[in-house]
Amino acid sequence: MSSLEERPPDHTVKLAGRIGAATRVTILTGAGVSAASGVPTFRGVGGLWRTYRAEDLATPDAFTRDPQLVWEWYAWRRETVAACRPNAAHAVLARWSRRDGTTLITQNVDDLHLRAGSRDVVRLHGSLWELKCADHCAAGVTPWRDERVPLPERIPRCPHCGGYARPAIVWFGESLDASDVDRALAATACDVFLTVGTSAVVYPAAGFVHESKRRGAFTAEINMDETAASSTVDLSIRGGAEEILPALDRLIS
């Protein structure tokens, strides 16, 4: 019996009441939701950006400068994620995401929401498991799925033009897919906007909670630490997503 099952804290009960009474619920997740699965986060203790410089690996210039280095990093992340399994937080969100009026938006590229059974997820930053043509050839603009681990080539090739392939992931300085941004913006018109496991520093993803508040939503965050959104949201719950979301789910169901 976890401590949360004995007597859930008042803020968890309050949030459960809000979600239970809501017609439209939007959830935005970040790396913290996959932390319990063993997927490294970016900015926390042991985070990826603590070890690597984002501008050396996650930008178009970095890829132009040294495609092999960038692919080594992504090949390592693919192998790391391949050994991970969705956790209890993904399982709860998979159930919630199938309810009418609920939209699940993620910044994560690990696809653990999909593997947990979530459907129709708005994946703002793409996927580790999808590639596209680095030379923007006509056929290679559309990402293709490649789940081979390890990848057979050090730098995968575009099957259409033979040029380099790159991860179908949004790098810093690159625009997000307009239809994904439109879907996320539309989902800010909701009764409850819940952010889970994100430091809320990367835009435009970090802007959606502010937009939902401006449009009258009750806003809440579940995070281990304070975030850039903590002073904005109506309710901030400190703790692990893999504990808090199941506790909320028990109160709502």
Residues with active-site annotation = 125
Q: What is the DSSP string of 139-161?
A: GGGS-EE---SS-SSSS-B-TTT
79 binds ligand BV8, rule: CB under 6 A = no
Site stretch for ligand BV8 (CB under 6 A), options 34-42, 150-158, 185-193, 229-237:
34-42
The total of other beta-carbon atoms located within 10 Å of residue 7's CB is: 9
Contact track, ligand BV8, 206-225, x by CB under 6 A: ----------------xxxx
Angle at 211 between CA 11 and CA 119, to 5 degrees: 75
Measure the CA–CA gap between 2 and 245, rounded to whole angstroms.
13
12, 26, 37, 41: which one binds ligand BV8 (CB under 6 A): 41
Decide the pairing of beta strands 25-29 and 192-196: parallel
Shorter beta-carbon distance to ligand BV8: residue 140 or 197: 197
Q: Single out the residue of 249, 251, 253, 252 nearest to residue 88, CA to CA.
A: 249
2, 51, 175, 179: which one binds ligand BV8 (CB under 6 A): 175
Give strand ranges (E) for the chain.
Answer: 25-29, 102-106, 122-123, 126-133, 144-145, 165-169, 192-196, 218-223, 235-238
Site stretch for ligand BV8 (CB under 6 A), options 31-39, 155-163, 210-218, 229-237:
31-39
43 binds ligand BV8, rule: CB under 6 A = yes
198 binds ligand BV8, rule: CB under 6 A = yes
Determine the residue with CB nearest ligand BV8. 32
101 binds ligand BV8, rule: CB under 6 A = no
Q: Which residues make up the interface to ligand BV8 (CB under 6 A)?
A: 30-32, 35-36, 41-44, 47, 58, 107-109, 125, 169-175, 197-199, 201-204, 222-225, 227, 240-242
